[in-house]
Amino acid sequence: MPRRLGLPSVYLAAAVATAATTAVPLAMTPASGLALRPATTEPARPYIVIARRRADARDLVGEVRWRVRRYYTAALPGFATFLTAAELASLRSDPRVLAIEPDREIHPMRGRRPGRTLPDAGSDGAGATVYVVDSGVDAGRGTRFDDRAWHAFDATGGTGRDCLGYGTRAAGRVHAMAPKAKIASVRVLGCEGSGSLADVLAGLDWIRRHAHGPSVASLAIDGDDSLALGRAARSLARSGIFVVQAADSGTCQAVPGGRAYSASVPYVAGAAARQLELHPAVHPAVLASWLNCTTARGAIRQNSSGASNLLTHNGGL
């Protein structure tokens, strides 16, 4: 398999390990890692390919012309793959392809307490589930969460263990706000302190396929300038999942469709879970207004690690 340039080596190892354990038909393995063709002697780099329609994504993956690592079937139509320069040019000119962007490192964003008191619904989040998309959560009986938190999905190929502490701290803040909400750990960051865009998309794809009932997705990570990540987050919101993403503003800001941005992601997620206990069927956009999220004007800014925006695409989203 070609070397994965510009990403931590642990993710290449995870991709290889996943490929070795997924010898089943592609249609049965959404968001899984697969090595469908042998290594090439030409330099290849990791990319995310977004198709125009789900049928287009299925057809492209089924052609077995690409070294497909992950196939997304719910949050967005597309796949993660390694491409040579010639293959990239071929895909960019394919009318079935909407956009292509390089895979990249994704980093946790350290949040802070909200600058003002979040609305108190007079409830504790019972019946709601918060999906913490982060470095994992130390969960299970005997932890602060007892049986309310569990390892739902690990995109890195591990066991869900949190070796950074970021995800467990985020889950703790959710739990403090909504002590009876369930917490599902969706691990997308590795032990070296970062993750890959492909793994984050796999986590969101998993949430889109498995979330049921009143749900919140907590994303205290950077990467909001990613076309694929933005499309996947919008897909979650359209399905009724309230999505909270990281930004450098302490206030809660809402964008059309029901997503919210804040530097206090887990606190906002916990406050949303409290509202969902009382109003389980509320639309995410209405929920944002109940949380006093102001309408965002202009682009949402993140205090990211400084990763450059290296998007190459055919048209916008």
Q: Is the pLDDT of residue 7 over 90?
A: no
pLDDT digits (tens, 9 = 90+) for 76-124: 999 999 999 999 999 999 999 999 999 999 999 987 787 667 777 789 9
Q: Can you give the residue range of the structural domain that contains 201? A: 129-295
Q: Please check whether residue 218 lies inside any domain of the structure.
A: yes
How confident is the model at residue 176, as a pLDDT?
94
Contacts of 228 (CB under 8 A, 6+ apart): 48, 50, 76, 78, 99, 101, 197, 201
Region 191-202: what's the mean pLDDT? 96
Burial 6-28 (b: 16+ CB within 10 A, else e): ebbebbbebbeebbeeeeeebee
Q: Is the pLDDT of residue 5 over 60?
A: no
How confident is the model at residue 6, as a pLDDT?
43
Q: Is the pLDDT of residue 3 over 50?
A: no
pLDDT digits (tens, 9 = 90+) for 156-189: 998 899 999 999 999 999 999 999 999 999 999 9
Q: Is the pLDDT of residue 314 over 80?
A: no
Region 2-6: what's the mean pLDDT? 37
Q: Which CATH number goes with the domain that contains 259? A: 3.40.50.200
* 47, two tokens: 């990319």
Decide which of 264 and 141 is more confident.
Answer: 264
Q: Are 76 and 224 in contact (CB under 8 A)?
A: no
Tell me how many domains the chain contains.
2
Q: Is 54 helix (H, G, I), strand (E, B) or coil?
A: helix
Region 34-55: what's the mean pLDDT? 80
Q: Are 185 and 176 in contact (CB under 8 A)?
A: no
How confident is the model at residue 18, as a pLDDT?
36
Region 197-217: what's the mean pLDDT? 98
| pTM given for the model | 0.83
Model confidence at 312, pLDDT cuts 50, 70, 90, reads very low
How confident is the model at residue 25, as a pLDDT?
38
Look up tokens 């990791």; give the residue. 46
Using alpha carbons only, what angle is made at residue 111 by residues 107 and 112, rounded to the nearest 5 degrees?
165
Model confidence at 272, pLDDT cuts 50, 70, 90, reads very high
At which of 103, 119, 139 does a domain end? 103
Q: Classify 288 in phi/psi space as left (phi over 0), alpha (psi -120 to 50) or beta.
A: alpha
Strands (E), the chain: 45-51, 67-72, 78-83, 97-102, 105-106, 129-134, 149-154, 182-187, 195-196, 215-219, 242-246, 253-255, 259-262, 294-295
* 146, two tokens: 């007892």
Using alpha carbons only, what angle is made at residue 103 by residues 134 and 65, rounded to the nearest 5 degrees?
125
On whether both 267 and 165 belong to a single domain, the answer is yes
Q: Please check whether residue 308 lies inside any domain of the structure.
A: no
Q: Is the pLDDT of residue 313 over 70?
A: no
Q: Is the pLDDT of residue 49 over 50?
A: yes
DSSP H or E segment with residue 56: helix 54-62
Strands (E), 121-230: 129-134, 149-154, 182-187, 195-196, 215-219
Q: Please check whether residue 75 lies inside any domain of the structure.
A: yes
Q: What percent of the chain shows pLDDT beyond 70?
A: 79
Model confidence at 207, pLDDT cuts 50, 70, 90, reads very high
On whether both 57 and 143 belong to a single domain, the answer is no
Q: Please check whether residue 40 lies inside any domain of the structure.
A: yes
On whether both 154 and 207 belong to a single domain, the answer is yes
Q: Please check whether residue 149 lies inside any domain of the structure.
A: yes
Q: Are 186 and 199 in contact (CB under 8 A)?
A: no
On whether both 283 and 136 belong to a single domain, the answer is yes
Q: Is the pLDDT of residue 225 over 60?
A: yes
Identity of residue 157: G
Q: Is 9 helix (H, G, I), strand (E, B) or coil?
A: helix
Q: Give the rounded distance of the alpha carbon of 172 from its chain centre.
A: 19
How confident is the model at residue 257, as a pLDDT?
86
How confident is the model at residue 13, as a pLDDT?
42
Q: Which CATH number goes with the domain that contains 45? A: 3.30.70
To the nearest whole number, what is the mean pLDDT of the chain?
83
On whether both 27 and 148 belong to a single domain, the answer is no
Q: Any idea what DSSP says for residue 312?
A: B
Q: Please check whether residue 110 lies inside any domain of the structure.
A: no
On whether both 211 and 288 belong to a single domain, the answer is yes
Measured between alpha carbons, how far is 259 from 249 in angstroms, rounded to an integer? 15
